[in-house]
Structure 1
Amino acid sequence: MFADVNGIRLAYSDTGTGSPVALLVHGFPLNRSMWDPQRGSLRSMGVRVIAPDLRGFGASESGPPGPLTMEQHADDLVALLDVLGVSEPIVFVGLSMGGYVGFALWRRHPERVRAFVFADTRASADTATAREDRLRIARLAEEFDSPQPAIDSMLPRLLSPHLRAGSLPERLVRGMMAGSSAQAVANGQRGLAARVDSSSTLSTIAVPTLVIVGEHDVPTPPDESRLIAEGIPNARLVTIDQAGHMSNLENPEAFNDALLAFVETARE
């Protein structure tokens, strides 16, 4: 399905009719299909599940050239909720870049959120070294007109070392990354490099919050999730065994157990 949002066509799936409404926000450079192991489980408990492709990713249009900022993504999501007639506050579930978008959304539209799930993400901005690496990959993606520089740089670090090459999670992640355009990779990396430090945002988050992290997460190690959980009043931290940065794909059973139990409490 598509919606006209802020001058672009945004692709999304919208299943279920219950409450609360869960908004599932993917990581970089992926798309909404990364949430397939969660969508059915949430729907079966009577939750309406909306999973968009963020601007520039999956089947969504990119719009004008330039960095894909977390603020733009946040505004797009609120506009999508408006188009879909969702007026009640949502349960925001974001993994990695999706978490960065969640912080931006809270700063800009806090009234739209009833609960947060931050998975495998961090509140801090990039270091100077990490920022330069993102900009380097952006240049290479444009130079070779391919997402391959991002795949080569990121894929070896995304998954737990216990997963063998060619495993289902590895194939899924590789396929999503390969399906991204070179321009989405470049603009996405520039937007990520430009994101602000959200550490000071944590103490302002006044809704129930679950923080999830894979025990072998390399890009956003467990200590980063611990800082998020300690910074948000009454947040809960869950570590997923046998999982890396893509904990929802690597150990979906454990991830779903934590997610569904938390969403159930958001009904209260």
Structure 2
Amino acid sequence: MTEKLPVVFVPGLGCTARLFEAQLAVLGDRPAIVADHTRHADIAAIAEDALGAAPERFALVGLSMGGYVALEIIRRAPERVARLALLDTTAYPDTEEGRARRRTLIAAAERGKLGSIHAATFARYVEPNRVADAALEAVVRDMLFATGAPAFVRQMTAILNRADYEPLLERIACPTLVLVGENDAPTPPDHARRMATAIPGARLAVLPTTGHLSTLENPDGVNAELTPFLG
């Protein structure tokens, strides 16, 4: 019997393993690791930690900030990544407006204002019809508070200072899935389309009525794309 390829998941900003709960549930006996992205204020250091904890060869799935870490892993150790799934993320630098927004959130987190951060960001993260979804909001809020303010500051600092990964895209040689919610505001579908065009042989999937947190908002849609991709 062919041994199943292990999967390394990398969550997004202020998110925990709960972000991938529905995906982990359908993996069966396939080995899986959720990377720790809370300890460093630098994407490269997070990627090095993830590589140190990962099997020798693996499939890699990153959402949002997790996608930045995944791209850094590809840059550092492309021979170890057999398959790459980039979910609701971007390879491109922030706009000045985006950088200013991040600095504002860092300042709020440094004052311990996680509740105000959640209030300011939740509606932007999810599809408009899910803004009033109390159960979804509770999960997102709980993940943020489980992350905690100091780790959130480190994560946001790492994102703010991340590399421009656009030049890397054309060099990605492994099978790649680029997935995005059609109503993803932070990393919109046009970014995903550009990435999928630049990565040789990449598959693009745009999920309808889905926002930035696709694995929570539309777990069935994500699993329908991700499960066969992982093989």
How many Å apart are 1:164 and its aligned residue?
A: 4.7
Gaps of 5+ in 1: 1-17, 57-61
Candidates 175, 189, 210, aligned match of 1:222: 189
SS at match of 2:159: helix
Q: Distance in 2 between matches of 1:49 and 1:189?
A: 25
Q: Distance in 2 between matches of 1:149 and 1:200?
A: 36
Q: Distance in 2 between matches of 1:106 and 1:151?
A: 31
Is 1:28 the counterpart of 2:46? The answer is no
Could you tell me which residue of structure 2 aligns to residue 109 of structure 1?
77
How many Å apart are 1:252 and its aligned residue?
A: 0.8
SS at match of 1:36: helix
How many Å apart are 1:129 and its aligned residue?
A: 2.1
Is 1:207 the counterpart of 2:178? The answer is no
Q: Distance in 1 between matches of 2:136 and 2:230?
A: 24
Q: Distance in 1 between matches of 2:68 and 2:210?
A: 21
Candidates 160, 165, 168, aligned match of 1:193: 160
The number of equivalent residue pairs is 230
Could you tell me which residue of structure 1 aligns to residue 223 of structure 2?
256
For 1:65-144, list aligned pairs within 5 A: 68-81=41-54, 86-87=55-56, 89-143=57-111
Q: Distance in 1 between matches of 2:134 and 2:208?
A: 17
How many Å apart are 1:251 and its aligned residue?
A: 1.0
> If the length of structure 1 is used for normalisation, what is the TM-score?
0.82
Which is helix-richer, 1 or 2? Answer: 2
Deviation string for 1:219-256 (max 9, x for gaps)?
Answer: 11110110110010000001112210011111111110
Could you tell me which residue of structure 2 aligns to residue 243 of structure 1?
210
How many Å apart are 1:75 and its aligned residue?
A: 0.2
Q: Contact 2:36/2:50 (CA < 8 Å) preserved in 1?
A: no
Q: Distance in 1 between matches of 2:133 and 2:191?
A: 29
Deviation string for 1:23-74 (max 9, x for gaps)?
Answer: 111000111121110002122xx421112332x2xxxxx3xxxx61111111
Q: Distance in 1 between matches of 2:127 and 2:62?
A: 19
Q: Contact 1:238/1:258 (CA < 8 Å) preserved in 2?
A: yes
User: AA paired with 1:50?
Assistant: I
Q: Contact 2:44/2:72 (CA < 8 Å) preserved in 1?
A: yes
Deviation string for 1:166-198 (max 9, x for gaps)?
Answer: 443222112111222111122211111101111
How many Å apart are 1:108 and its aligned residue?
A: 1.0
Higher relative contact order (Cα pairs below 8 Å, separated by 6+ residues): 2
Deviation string for 1:80-100 (max 9, x for gaps)?
Answer: 12xxxx22x211000000000
Is 1:39 the counterpart of 2:24? The answer is yes
How much is the aligned-residue C-alpha RMSD, in angstroms? Answer: 1.6
Q: Contact 1:32/1:53 (CA < 8 Å) preserved in 2?
A: no
> If the length of structure 2 is used for normalisation, what is the TM-score?
0.94
Q: Percent identity over the alignment?
A: 33
Candidates 102, 108, 113, aligned match of 1:146: 113
Q: Distance in 2 between matches of 1:48 and 1:193?
A: 32
Gaps of 5+ in 2: none
